[in-house]
Chains A and B, each alone.
Chain A
Amino acid sequence: DADVTQTPRNRITKTGKRIMLECSQTKGHDRMYWYRQDPGLGLRLIYYSFDVKDINKGEISDGYSVSRQAQAKFSLSLESAIPNQTALYFCATSDSAAVQETQYFGPGTRLLVL
């Protein structure tokens, strides 16, 4: 079984719609992240959470919101989707207690906004 899962894997929506992307992990990690990836660009951080009560904006948080419902769950919402939010979205986790704080990624959600 995958340690980091994302739902849905693919989503097509229309401009103005609200959508939620969900991430769950069984790794027991305290830190979770949401990234987007666009062709030719590196991974860009949207939001990150160091524990359930800690939420921080990343490089490109405008137009997005998040919720850390539990240590294992971190959701990303697009309140009113727009076409330039079409991208591949990744959730990642890491363990702050690890000497080498490697991030582990979910399989990604491919989002198309029409």
Chain B
Amino acid sequence: GQNIDQPTEMTATEGAIVQINCTYQTSGFNGLFWYQQHAGEAPTFLSYNVLDGLEEKGRFSSFLSRSKGYSYLLLKELQMKDSASYLCAVSDSNYQLIWGAGTKLIIKP
């Protein structure tokens, strides 16, 4: 079967760095997405990786290792507004997105 695993919840301190991991097993791979979702709101696109390596976009970076079926989202200089759920999703061989359950990130002052 297809499976995406990510931690249920993480806590970090304002101004610090946090890494959210995602492991996946899917039938085919056409890219991995990270989305941010604030409570009760729509998911919004953060990053996309299709080749191995690190993609940096401001305070957010995303890493992919296809051989290990592994990705992480790195958030630097955490702000209170970063408190949200972070969703990992993989595009499979049919270009369907397979979604993880999301990681709820709690930022403390």
Which residues of A are in contact with B by a Cβ distance under 8 Å? Answer: 40-45, 48, 88, 90, 100-108, 110
Contact B33 A102 (CB under 8 A): yes
Size category, B interface: 20 to 34
Contact A100 B100 (CB under 8 A): no
Query: Interface 1/0s, chain B 15-48, versus A by CB < 8 A?
Result: 0000000000000000101000000111111001
Q: Which residues of A contact B100 (CB under 8 A)?
A: 42
A101–B48 CA distance with the chains assembled, in angstroms: 10
What are 12 sample pairs from A and B whose C-beta atoms fall under 8 A apart?
A42-B4, A42-B87, A42-B100, A43-B43, A43-B87, A43-B89, A48-B96, A105-B43, A105-B44, A106-B42, A108-B40, A108-B42
3 closest Cβ pairs, A-B complex: A42-B99, A105-B42, A43-B99
Which of B45, B89, B101 interacts with A40 by CB under 8 Å?
A: B101
Q: Which residues of B contact A103 (CB under 8 A)?
A: 33, 45, 97
A66–B23 CA distance with the chains assembled, in angstroms: 33
Which residues of B are in contact with A by a Cβ distance under 8 Å? Answer: 4, 8, 31, 33, 40-45, 48, 50, 87, 89, 91, 95-97, 99-102
Q: A43-B89, A48-B96, A100-B48 are in contact. List 4 more A-B contacts (CB 8 A).
A: A42-B100, A43-B43, A43-B99, A90-B42
Q: Which residues of A contact B4 (CB under 8 A)?
A: 42
Q: Is the interface of A mostly helix, strand, loop or mixed?
A: loop
Return the chain A residue nearest B6 by Cβ: A42
A108–B99 CA distance with the chains assembled, in angstroms: 17
A100–B44 CA distance with the chains assembled, in angstroms: 15
A104–B52 CA distance with the chains assembled, in angstroms: 24
Please give the distance in Å from B93's CB to the nearest CB on chain A: 14
Please give the distance in Å from B7's CB to the nearest CB on chain A: 13
A106–B102 CA distance with the chains assembled, in angstroms: 18
Contact A90 B43 (CB under 8 A): yes
Q: Which residues of B contact A100 (CB under 8 A)?
A: 31, 48, 50
Contact B31 A42 (CB under 8 A): no
Return the chain B residue nearest A50 by Cβ: B95
Please give the distance in Å from A25's CB to the nearest CB on chain B: 13
